[in-house]
A and B are shown apart, each in its own frame.
Chain A
């Protein structure tokens, strides 16, 4: 029987290769034609051949006795339960022909309930020891609350002892791991470990995929890679024991220590994962499981001794602050050139981002933090850290948080650019020579504190903030079309190419925050720009006063008669929605000067002006000849000093800024439709420069 089968097999392979070579465009691949083995917990028999459903094996012990060959498949019957058993797999596949564990039939995923079992004092559901080219799919793995103090892992991938070395292609997919409790931190749900002492052979892995698994109620760590290179001076791979690592689409919840922790990896990709309840969060009877480690600090999804890590499209919530930390995101020790982008965090006790010492050139961009809590500030930069780039994030706080919203280390530089800090709580901001701010938006308390030369203060006008709970999106943090933050940011090089919503960067000048306002607003067109350097004001229409140019640093528009109403206007009467900005230097004490917009004629216009009588910024509407003050705000006016004035008019909505701070916002239910721009003052003299109208 055996002999006959062996003769047939090569013939079959030849036939397949022949067929494959005849197919157009298909080059023959020398696939090892492996054997498929079936395991049926209920009806199987270990004495059977195992090579058909009707002659299936019964126990996992039988599987463990076989050394498998490339292309082999081991299929466990759906609905089956293997109790006090485990898979300890032997043999290796080759490139193109991995060995695959999967299920057959329909029903629940095959369940491996490994109980209190152990091999050399440690327990596991599936172990891949010193092997390459394996794919493990579609199993349920649990051990329950076991009294024996030992290491336990759902899936253990280890290189150690004789046979340690360089391994390739380990794929762990669609495994449901739950209720596994191991002692010490080298245990947990899915656990890769290069083990040994300084004189042992060092193990490494290339091509790891951990995808679409669930890890629930597990100690110690949810998903991790680890190498003993950290304590072995003779080992070489502290930074790259793991290459081509992808950790994707996993759901990790109720974990004793860290959620997803990648150590010693070169350019790992961690994306589309969700973690929650991280840090001493197991639902477990400590009367039975009495050996769990005491935990001081955790973070949800982070890296260690790693370069070029990308964490994106992840969600993290309910990370616990125990004695410290408790952030969702963490650039930890010896992490460089890495990025957290397009992630969403909420309700994490320790704040939002931890940056440790001995880090450098890391980027935190296009993330949304919705009410992370107050165990630490939103950012915690430990002393001894390097350069950190924090841009286009939304930090939203609306509770009782009062810790700092920004932070710096005592070394390196932290650059905060284009972020939205929505301080609906009472947090403070840090200023330090080890940080810079540029083009950030600050709303709420202490907005005047951060030293940002191009800040915008005021309501960012989110569509509907604080609504991104339990949904796949954070659309609430998009900006309304009237937001002052559209086109108000500054370009950042190498920005990743898209915003939180997948919109291409940039649509005109960048927006502040995680959302780049897309195509329904056309890229900004400059309608008018006048810096007066050509000393020609013939295109301005003037009435009253005496208008000319004057040198004041550079050439400026100047009005020199401090009596009566003086008006100058320019532009196109059909202009409807635009942003009009100019620098204005009032020269008359107790005087006034400001911006005319939607100037239809002398009886119909809006005016946003500085008034030194009472230190005010005032918004007027003149309609049918009647002038009405519609809004005003306190504003320190210093005659003799330049003030940057800006007004945005969009539909019925008018917003006025002085020196980057939003001072007035008014909606006119019977708005003037359109009109030119200009300057107006009464009984005052003033200079104007850098007039710009942008649509």
Chain B
């Protein structure tokens, strides 16, 4: 369907993020301004420096560094278009990503958009589970399901059996496929269980109400 107001929500989300961040900082004191003696700590646990480092927690479920880096490249085009059209930046310039795109760097905007996308992923997965639907929660589970899917497809094709759709799905195609099916199933459940007809608005609501804890030290180090 055609949406008329695609870009605004993430602006609100940043405000919400700052608010949530502030609240959490005040409450726990373990995020944002970490004690200098334990730079990698998150809620008392040591942060790995590899892909399993937790960038953020969404209602307690992790968004990992590996996942963040997997989802970020696809949003580059959108950000390049935006910063060029709105602020006249040239994406071919090597300094494009560090240049100011309306007060924030293009990279900063890209990371914010990626974070919002992943928050939405966690919310949707959690809502699906709550609605009694099968859903892989978190990136490790997603990767396992992806590998299993491709292995199963290959096995069936080798055995002369019929499958439908691509014989092998790329990670990004599988992501689209999982999200599309999850949204369809969730929309139906929302209608049946809550009489909810506006899925987008409902997701926005869940996002606003979510507890989002950001590990600033991990987050700020993320680069392209």
User: B180 and A179: CB pair below 8 A?
Assistant: no
Size class of the contact patch on chain B: 35 or more
Whole-angstrom distance between the Cβ of B61 and the nearest chain A Cβ: 21
Contact bitstring A285-298, B, C-beta under 8 A = 1, else 0? 11100001000000
Cα distance, A274 to B78, chains bound together (Å): 24
Is A74 at the interface (CB under 8 A from chain B)?
A: no
Q: Contacts A179-B77, A318-B184, A469-B181: A251 and B176 contacting too (C-beta < 8 A)?
A: yes
Q: A111 in the interface, Cβ–Cβ < 8 Å? A: yes
Contacts A82-B92, A214-B172 given; indicate if A313 touches B164 (C-beta within 8 A). yes
Whether A272 lies near B91 (C-beta < 8 A) is no
CA distance A473 to B92 in the complex (A): 45
Contact B80 A472 (CB under 8 A): no
Decide if B181 touches A250 in the complex (CB within 8 Å): no
Complex interface: chain A residues within 8 A of B156 (CB):
472-473, 502
Q: How far is the CB of B199 from chain A (nearest CB, A)?
A: 13
Q: Are A283 and B166 in contact (CB-based, < 8 A)?
A: no
Within 8 Å of chain A (Cβ to Cβ): is B161?
A: yes
The distance in angstroms between the C-alpha atoms of A143 and B177, with both chains bound, is 22
Per-position contact with A for B1-30: 1 when CB-CB < 8 Å, else 0? Answer: 111111100000000000000000000000
A470 near B84: Cβ-Cβ < 8 Å: no
Q: With the chains together, A183 CA to B7 CA distance in Å?
A: 22
Q: Are B165 and A144 in contact (CB under 8 A)?
A: no
- Residue B206 CB within 8 A of the other chain: no
A501 to B211: give the CA distance in the assembly, Å.
Answer: 46
Q: Are A285 and B164 in contact (CB under 8 A)?
A: no
Q: How far is the CB of B197 from chain A (nearest CB, A)?
A: 16
B131 to chain A minimum Cβ distance, whole angstroms, is 14
| Chain B positions 143 through 184: 1 when the CB is less than 8 Å from some CB of chain A, otherwise 0 | 000000100110010011111111111101100111011001
Q: Do B74 and A250 have beta carbons less than 8 Å apart?
A: no
Chain A residues 213 to 252 lying within 8 A of chain B, measured CB to CB, are: 214, 216, 249-251
Chain A residues whose C-beta falls within 8 Å of the C-beta of B4 in the assembled complex: 285-287
List the B residue with the shortest CB-CB distance to A320.
Answer: B1
How far, in Å, is B70 (CB) from chain A's closest CB? 10
Q: How far is the CB of B105 from chain A (nearest CB, A)?
A: 16
A111 touching B76, Cβ below 8 Å = yes
With an 8 A cutoff between CB atoms, is B90 at the interface? Answer: yes
Please state if A501 and B162 are interface contacts (CB–CB under 8 Å). Answer: yes
With A111-B76, A178-B74 already in contact, the answer to whether A274 and B6 are too (CB < 8 A) is no
- What 0/1 pattern do residues 342 to 354 of A give for CB contact below 8 A with B? 1110010000000
Contacting residues, chain B, for A216 (C-beta < 8 A): 176
Chain A nearest CB, measured from B117 CB (Å): 12
Does B209 belong to the interface (CB within 8 Å)?
Answer: no
Task: Check A690 for interface membership: any CB of B closer than 8 A.
Answer: no
Cβ of B84 and Cβ of A273 under 8 Å apart? no
User: In the bound complex, do residue B153 and residue A472 qualify as a contact, i.e. CB atoms below 8 Å apart?
Assistant: yes
Instruction: Indicate whether B73 reaches chain A with its CB closer than 8 angstroms.
Output: yes
B195 proximity list for chain A (CB < 8 A): none
A314 to B5, CA, bound (A): 33
Contacts of A344 in B (CB 8 A): 164
**A284 located at the interface, meaning its Cβ lies under 8 Å from any Cβ of chain B in the complex:** yes
Q: Count CB-based A-B contacts (< 8 Å).
A: 146
A197 interface contact, C-beta 8 A: no
Q: Per a CB cutoff under 8 Å, which of A85, A214, A343 touches B173?
A: A214
Contacts of A281 in B (CB 8 A): 1
Chain A residues whose C-beta falls within 8 Å of the C-beta of B159 in the assembled complex: 502
CB of A212 closer than 8 Å to a CB of B: yes
A292 (CB) vs chain B CBs: closest residue: B2
Which residues of A have CB within 8 Å of B152? 472-473
CA distance A277 to B180 in the complex (A): 8
Q: Is the CB of B6 within 8 A of A342?
A: no
Answer whether residue B81 sits at the interface, using C-beta atoms and an 8 A cutoff: yes
Is the beta-carbon distance between B84 and A115 smaller than 8 angstroms?
yes
Cβ of B94 under 8 Å from chain A: yes
Q: Does B185 contact A (CB under 8 A)?
A: yes
Q: Report B-chain residues with C-beta under 8 Å of the C-beta of A113.
A: 76-77, 80-81, 91
Kindly list chain A residues whose C-beta atoms are within 8 Å of the C-beta of B178. Answer: 470
Judge whether A303 is part of the interface by a CB distance below 8 angstroms.
no
Q: Which of A253, A287, A469 is the one whose CB lies under 8 Å from B185?
A: A469
B90, B156, B164, B172: most-surrounded residue (chain A CB, <10 A): B164
Given A41-B92, A313-B163, A313-B164; A276-B180 close (CB under 8 Å): yes
Rounded to whole Å, the gap between the CB of B185 and the closest CB of chain A is: 7
Q: Which residues of B contact A144 (CB under 8 A)?
A: 77-78, 80-82
Q: Which residues of B contact A81 (CB under 8 A)?
A: 76, 80, 91-92
- Which residues of A lie under 8 Å from residue B166 when comparing CB positions? 212, 249-251, 272-274
Closest to B134 in A: A470
Is there an interface contact between B164 and A251, defined as CB atoms closer than 8 Å? no
Is there a chain B Cβ closer than 8 Å to A319's Cβ? no
In angstroms, how far is the closest chain B Cβ from the Cβ of A400?
Answer: 12
- Scoring B76, B82, B92, B159 by chain A CB atoms within 10 A of each residue's CB, the highest score goes to B92
For residue A113, give the distance in angstroms from its CB to the closest CB of chain B: 5
Known pairs A115-B84, A144-B81, A282-B2; A253 contacts B164 (CB<8 A) = no
Q: How far is the CA of A176 from the CA of B167 in the complex (A)?
A: 17
Partner of A253, one of B80, B90, B91, B180: B180
A317 at the interface (CB under 8 A from B): yes
**Contact (A284, B3) CB under 8 Å given A145-B81, A472-B163:** yes
Using CB atoms, name the residue of chain B closest to A399: B188
Chain B residue nearest in CB terms to A43: B94
Give the CA-CA distance A469 to B135 in the complex, in Å: 12
**Given A113-B80, A144-B80, A146-B81, are A472 and B165 also a contact pair (CB < 8 Å)?**
yes
A315 interface residue (CB < 8 Å to B): yes
Residue of A nearest to B81 (CB): A144
In contact, A42 and B94 (Cβ under 8 angstroms): yes
Interface membership of A631, Cβ < 8 A: no
Does B165 lie within 8 Å of A315, measured CB to CB? yes
B76 touches A283 (CB 8 A): no
A187 within 8 A of B: no
Given contacts A113-B91, A144-B78, A315-B164, 9 further A-B contacts (CB under 8 A): A140-B77, A144-B80, A214-B172, A284-B2, A286-B3, A472-B153, A473-B161, A474-B164, A498-B160
Task: Give me the 4 closest cross-chain CB pairs, A-B, nearest first.
Answer: A144-B81, A83-B91, A274-B165, A502-B161
Q: Which B residues have a C-beta under 8 Å from some C-beta of A?
A: 1-7, 73-74, 76-78, 80-82, 84-85, 90-92, 94, 149, 152-153, 156, 159-170, 172-173, 176-178, 180-181, 184-185
Can you list 19 contacts pairing A with B, beta carbon distance less than 8 Å? A81-B76, A81-B92, A83-B80, A108-B73, A113-B77, A178-B77, A250-B166, A251-B177, A274-B164, A284-B6, A285-B6, A313-B164, A314-B165, A318-B184, A342-B164, A472-B164, A474-B164, A498-B160, A500-B162
